[in-house]
Amino acid sequence: MKTPVYSQAGKKSGDINLPEAIFGLPMNESLVHQVYVSMMSNKRANIAHTKDRSEVRGGGKKPWKQKGTGRARHGSRRSPIWIGGGITFGPRNEKNFKKKINKKMKTKALFTILSQKMRDGEIIFVDSLSFDAPKTKDAAAMLSSLAGVEGFEGLANKKNNRAMITTVDVDQNVIKSFGNFSNVSVDEFRKINPVDLLKYKYLVITNPQDSIAVLEAKVAEPVAA
């Protein structure tokens, strides 16, 4: 599978052959959904916590005697039906939301999403990306140049979740240059995951040869289609 590679200025600089096992898989909605839900569940911070009747303060003494008052019988002010009493079936911070996900499933979902994005024309390869100094102006010019490529016009005007830019190594000039873009994310290519790919519309892959080598290293054996 051959696809063009562009320069930082938006000019075609060559071509690259993509492995079918990574960029040519059919879409598998059920797998992607299962992996996405599992990853989001594993990221969940379980903070909300309510107290049940054994944890709320007070209520050691019976409110009134059992009979003879004409009122309903009550044994404790901690009862959930009392104001200030315990909470029934409320959220508890000891609840475990973790979901097991196999490494092969996560890898297959990642390749499946990459394949779909490739078919939808949402992945652009850039031979290299560097800035002499952290400047938002240079970052905006780079996006504007890539937006001149047919099919990637949204890189210049999409307001939300515009693009994820990946680099092989950490480059502080690149990271800081895009720091003022709330709709653009910059991260190392080795850290990409299904959740990030589904969040952003466009994926800008720099240093494609090295980046694809990272993906190929994830495959211990050929991935079945």
The count of domains in the chain is 2
C-alpha pair distances (Å), 105 with each of 42, 109, 210, 212, 225: 15, 6, 23, 19, 12
Q: Is 75 within a domain?
A: yes
Residues 152, 195 within the same domain: yes
Place of tokens 């949402």: 122
* Residue 221 pLDDT class (50, 70, 90 cuts): low
Q: Is 130 within a domain?
A: yes
Single-letter amino acid code for the residue at 218: K
Model-level pTM?
0.82
Q: Is 225 within a domain?
A: no
Alpha-carbon distance 98 to 44, whole Å?
8
Residues 36, 124 within the same domain: yes
CATH of the domain at 162: 3.40.1370.10
Q: Give the model confidence (pLDDT) of 133-191 as tens digits.
A: 999 999 999 999 999 998 898 888 888 888 999 999 888 999 999 999 999 999 999 99
Given a contact cutoff of 8 angstroms between Cβ atoms, the answer to whether 158 and 201 are in contact is yes
Here the tokens at position 179 are 């720091």
Which residues, at least 6 apart from 43, have a Cβ–Cβ distance to it below 8 Å?
Answer: 195
Q: Give the model confidence (pLDDT) of 31-61 as tens digits.
A: 999 999 999 999 988 899 999 999 998 877 8
Domain span at 69: 46-96
Which residues, at least 6 apart from 80, have a Cβ–Cβ distance to it below 8 Å?
Answer: 53, 86, 87, 88
